[in-house]
Amino acid sequence: MTVPTSTGSNAPDGTPVVTGMPETATLRAPVTAAPQKTFRTQLAQAFAMFRNRKSIAGLIILGVFVVVALLAPWIAPYGPTQKDRTALRQPPSFEHWLGTTHMGEDVLSQIIYGTRGVIVVGFLSAVIATIIAIAIGVIAGYLRGWKSESLSALTNVFLVIPGLPLIIIVASQFDNPPLIVIAAVLGITGWAWGARVLRAQTMSLRNRDFIQAARANGEPLRRIIAIEMLPNLMALIASSFVGTVTAAILGLTTLAFIGVIPVNNLNWGTILFWAQQNGAFPRLWWWYVPAGLCIAIIGVALSLINFGIDEYVNPRLRSAGDRARAMKKKGLDVNDPVTAVRAVPGIPSNTNSTQNTTQNAKR
């Protein structure tokens, strides 16, 4: 754009001379404020790892177990220790859907009430182990020098400590160990693997530009870890949490099955313990098969959740999953090694080209 200006001099005829001084004008778009993320958007991004079918299926199965544990007094047809002397070792029937024990106790009621102990110990120990893993793993990955090496050495020590014998020794010190003590022991002995993974990922994040910028701005350590790093570690934290829940449930049922936990702490392992002690294997299948199936089903649910998280974290798995879902929508077989090729009008197909080439070769 040219702005006319006067130089102050006149032409020979007395008219003022106007010269043009070039001035570049830049047209700018109106500045609009960046849209702020609502709580709903942040919540959706935080749980984006659970959107695939595997995670949804695992969450549904796990949610059923949680509901059963919460509503046990209203769902169970009988009390867990209520005895029916007229139905001893009875197979499944209309009165007792999963049969009875050698003392006439309803197996279904024991399964329902036993779900409480499994869920409480599994999730409580996972919370304890995850908190310790985050505190030690992230700090060890962010710091440098002897502090990082000391925390790494502590993690290595807990990695080689045999967990099951230690749990047996601690549990044997109590006549009736509560579930909180059992969960605390399982959590304290199960945090090392998660801390190791978080330390490795934090070491790769601490050299990123946004971490360096936060450090240059003088941000405190707690804010850098809580605001800058933890959102980028949520997938690994969730995967570590799910793996710890699985290990805690298996550890609890194992301790109950071998008789370390008192029999009044009812859970699925206790049911298997009484079935073994009273010769239920293999004839009285209704006594031990339901408890074993519950352990297997909740293990499958947690594995599906973990697979879904892995698919979200790993770009290759995520792209492969998206490609497979797109092929299913089009009616194509994912496992078919032959890819269907659609002929384009106006372009000769590969078959005609091949035939022409063969005829020319014969000539």
Q: pTM, whole model, 2 decimals? A: 0.74
- Residue-wise pLDDT for 60-96, tens only, equals 999 999 999 999 999 999 998 888 888 889 999 998 9
For residue 77, whether the previous peptide bond is cis, meaning omega lies within 30 degrees of 0, is: no
Check if the beta carbon of residue 116 is closer than 8 Å to that of residue 183.
no
**What are the pLDDT digits (tens) for 243-275?**
999 999 998 998 888 888 776 778 999 999 999
The residue with greater pLDDT, 4 or 53, is 53
Q: Is the pLDDT of residue 195 over 90?
A: yes
**Above 60 in pLDDT, residue 280?**
yes
Whether the predicted pLDDT of 35 surpasses 50: no
Q: Please say if the pLDDT value at position 26 is more than 50.
A: no
Asked if 313 and 49 touch (Cβ cutoff 8 Å), the reply is yes
CATH of 49-79+98-329, one of 2.30.30.40, 3.30.360.10, 3.40.50.2300, 1.10.3720.10: 1.10.3720.10
> What pLDDT band is residue 215 in, cutting at 50, 70 and 90?
confident
Which tokens hold the place of 44?
């959706």
Work out the average pLDDT over 282-296. Answer: 93
| Contact (Cβ atoms closer than 8 angstroms) between residue 205 and residue 232 | yes
- Domain parsing of the chain, residue ranges: 49-79+98-329
Question: And the tokens for 309?
Answer: 């998280």
Distance CA 240, CA 119 (A): 17
Please state, in angstroms and as integers, the Cα–Cα distance from residue 216 to each residue in 145, 212, 213, following that order. 20, 6, 5
The helix/strand/coil state of 100 is: strand
Residue carrying structure tokens 């769902």: 75
**Of 69, 98, 100, which Cα lies nearest the Cα of 84?**
100
Helix residue spans in the chain (DSSP H)? 39-46, 53-70, 72-75, 107-142, 146-160, 163-171, 179-188, 192-205, 209-216, 221-223, 234-257, 268-277, 285-313, 315-329, 350-362
Distance CA 6, CA 122 (A): 86
Helical packing angle, 268-277 and 234-257, nearest 10°: 20
- Phi and psi at 350, nearest 5°, equal -65, -30
Separation CA 129–CA 239 (nearest Å)? 12
